[in-house]
């Protein structure tokens, strides 16, 4: 058993963090198959992400198919990614479940295996109110005192609004150090940052990083990217441009590049609707990544392997756009 690496500090949560998919074997779409993790591709992608300059990895979220892998498959994925990373960058493992006790069991297991922390949404059976949400994270923190917690603040998946009152109470929990966040309206980000009192690192998605860093350059020092699995060079280039802009005060190149990658997101959302994307999130993201060609993530596991073809074509376009930008960055040296 590996000893937990201990709590991350907020200053260790910076830069470009890649969402690491859970690659499936070709038969991964079939419910009869129970050993579907492509461990060779997990190891290759983990190593390549780190070699490309990615600052941190998060696995077994939505894209990571936390809800469709068996417990043994989750262990296999985690052990491969953790062993390959070998402490060179932080690895955060998803441990969301339907209840507090099961989440605690999985969080302890991830920590014992050497994960630097856990990515936790809310139990998904009944929508939580703020008292339930706060109690849930407090209980996990009490049970796992040496485990860093990243909150997975997904509106659609967990049917919760994540209000400032929630963040104000999370700021009092020492284990809560990061949040996978979608900025959306600017005022919401400002209010949530203020409520957290600088105790939590908010990681927005890549497409929102430029805008968020302009709002609060000192607080916004990290972002998450599922697109990194289509070519991590795009994410690290965005990181470097924003850091350069913070130092120089000239944000023009960072804005230009952020605008350049925006079209890759537009085609990922069917009919431009987030509600449609949320229905087919896993299938669309995996199709996007396979089309990007940097990583072979195989099929989505059941029941998420069924996605309308017209939606899949938009995902493929998204992956190809991202991959083209990555190729241009590499060619430019």
Q: If you ran DSSP here, which 8-state letter would residue 250 be given? A: -
The pLDDT assigned to 106 comes to: 96
The residue ranges of DSSP E strands in 181-255, in sequence order, are 201-205, 222-225
Known active-site residue 180: yes
Q: Name the catalytic one among 180, 221, 280, 286.
A: 180
Please give the model's pTM, rounded to 2 decimal places. Answer: 0.95
The pLDDT assigned to 186 comes to: 65
The pLDDT assigned to 1 comes to: 44
Q: Name the catalytic one among 152, 209, 210, 280.
A: 152
Known active-site residue 152: yes
For the residues of 10-52, what is the DSSP string, one character each? GGG--EEEEEE---B-TTTT-TT----B-HHHHHHHHHHHHHH
Q: What domains appear along the chain, each with residue ranges and CATH number?
A: 10-248 (3.20.20.70)
Count Cβ neighbours within 10 Å for each residue of 123-138 and write b for 16 or more, e otherwise: beeeebeeeebbebbb
- What is the C-alpha to C-alpha distance for residues 153 and 159, in angstroms, rounded to an integer? 10
Low-confidence spans in the chain with pLDDT less than 50: 1
């Amino acid at each position: 058993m590996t000893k937990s690496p201990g709590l991350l500090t907020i200053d260790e949560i910076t830069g470009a963090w890649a969402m690491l998919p859970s690659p499936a074997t070709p038969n991964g779409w079939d419910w009869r198959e129970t050993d579907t993790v492509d461990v060779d591709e997990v190891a290759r992608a983990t190593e390549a992400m780190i070699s490309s300059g990615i600052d941190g990895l998060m696995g077994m979220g939505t894209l990571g198919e936390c809800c469709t892998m068996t417990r043994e498959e989750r262990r296999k994925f985690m052990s491969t990614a953790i062993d390959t990373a070998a402490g060179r960058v932080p690895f955060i493992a998803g441990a969301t479940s339907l209840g507090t006790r099961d989440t605690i069991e999985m969080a302890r297991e991830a920590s014992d295996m050497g994960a630097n922390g856990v990515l936790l949404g809310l139990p998904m059976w009944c929508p939580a109110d703020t008292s339930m949400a706060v109690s849930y994270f407090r209980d996990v923190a009490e049970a796992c005192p040496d485990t860093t917690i990243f909150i997975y603040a997904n509106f659609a998946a967990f049917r919760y609004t994540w209000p400032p009152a929630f963040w104000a109470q999370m700021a009092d929990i020492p284990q809560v150090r990061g949040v996978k966040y979608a900025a959306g309206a600017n005022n919401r980000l400002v209010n949530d940052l203020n409520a957290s009192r600088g105790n939590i690192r908010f990681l927005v998605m890549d497409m929102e990083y430029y805008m968020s860093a302009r709002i609060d350059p000192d607080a916004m020092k990290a972002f998450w990217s599922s697109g990194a699995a289509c070519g991590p060079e795009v994410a690290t280039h965005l990181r470097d441009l924003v850091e350069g802009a913070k130092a120089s005060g000239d944000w023009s190149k960072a804005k230009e590049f952020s605008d350049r990658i925006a079209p890759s997101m537009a085609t990922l959302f069917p009919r431009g609707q987030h509600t449609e994307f949320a229905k087919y999130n896993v299938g669309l993201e995996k199709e996007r990544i396979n089309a990007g060609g940097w990583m072979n993530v195989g099929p989505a596991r059941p029941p998420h392997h069924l996605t309308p073809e017209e939606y899949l074509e938009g995902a493929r376009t998204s992956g190809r756009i991202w991959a083209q930008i990555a190729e241009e960055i590499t060619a430019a040296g």
